Amino acid sequence: MRSSTKHDDTEKKPRGRPRAYDPETALRQAAEAFWKTGYSGTSLDDISAATGMNRPSLRAAFGDKHEIYVKALNDYWELKFAALDRAFGSGGTLAETLTRVYDAALSIYFSGSDQVLGCFVVGTAITEAAGDTEIQSIVAEGFRRIDADFEARFKLARAVGDLKQGADPKALALLASATMHTLAIRARAGTSRSELKKLAHKVVSVICG
């Protein structure tokens, strides 16, 4: 938001003691901790261990536990949207695009360094969403966006003749999103990546065939 995603040499050096840790990577490490054990299952000490920062530094940098989680959640959505945008935007047939989208999702779901963690949102935020309106609305907004992306792609496919005229883009978009949800769930439930790739392939065949 405010500072150096790309280093900006016009910035003056800050006044006091320099930070020992990069905020971006620290947030990502905190997110990984939440990703493994969920919001309630992760203590600030866990996050402290994951980032190498001590608790007062964590608080100064990101706020309390809830704020850290919300930042991690927003960060995850950005990561995911970026990956999906790339998958949606690389051209090709509808089937090719859908396959790329699901591959991109699986790459994230299987990105855990030592375990399979699935989707951060489905795997951790959904649990909190029931009792936390802020998290709930962040989650819902992300889903809306993905639904819209799918729907736009199906409309395009129908216009181009890649999909038959009678097809309902909104209905297909919901099915496409549902497929992403089931991938997220099943990844965390232990289904292997190759199995999920087959699942995605079958779905693409049904939708496009």
Partner DNA sequence: CATGTTTTGTACTAGATCGCATAAAAAGCT
Partner DNA sequence: AGCTTTTTATGCGATCTAGTACAAAACATG
Contacting positions for its own copies (CB under 8 A):
36-41, 115-118, 122-124, 126-131, 136-137, 139-140, 143, 168, 170-172, 174-175, 177-179, 181-182, 185-186, 188-191, 199, 202-203, 205-206
Q: b/e map of 35-53 (b: 16 or more CB within 10 Å)?
A: bbebbeebebeebbebbeb
Residue 127's binding partner among DNA, its own copies, none (Cβ under 5 to 8 angstroms by kind) is: its own copies
Query: Which residues are CB-contacts of 41 (< 8 A; sequence separation ≥ 6)?
Result: none
Closest contact distance (angstroms) between CB of 103 and its own copies is 17
Closest contact distance (angstroms) between CB of 178 and DNA is 33
Q: CB count, 10 Å around CB of 75?
A: 16
Residue nearer to DNA on the CB measure, 33 or 119: 33
Closest contact distance (angstroms) between CB of 200 and its own copies is 9
Residue 54's binding partner among its own copies, DNA, none (Cβ under 5 to 8 angstroms by kind) is: DNA
Catalog residues that contact DNA under the rule CB under 7 A: 12-21, 43-46, 53-57, 59-61, 64-65
Per-residue CA distances from 73 to 39, 41, 135, 148, 192 (Å): 11, 16, 8, 20, 25
Copy the structure tokens of residue 112.
């855990």
Residue 13's binding partner among DNA, its own copies, none (Cβ under 5 to 8 angstroms by kind) is: DNA
Copy the structure tokens of residue 172.
């297909």
Residue nearer to its own copies on the CB measure, 36 or 153: 36
Residue 86's binding partner among DNA, its own copies, none (Cβ under 5 to 8 angstroms by kind) is: none
Closest contact distance (angstroms) between CB of 38 and DNA is 12
Closest contact distance (angstroms) between CB of 10 and its own copies is 42
What is residue 163's three-state secondary structure? Answer: coil
Pair 136, 73: CB distance under 8 Å: no
Q: CB count, 10 Å around CB of 150?
A: 25
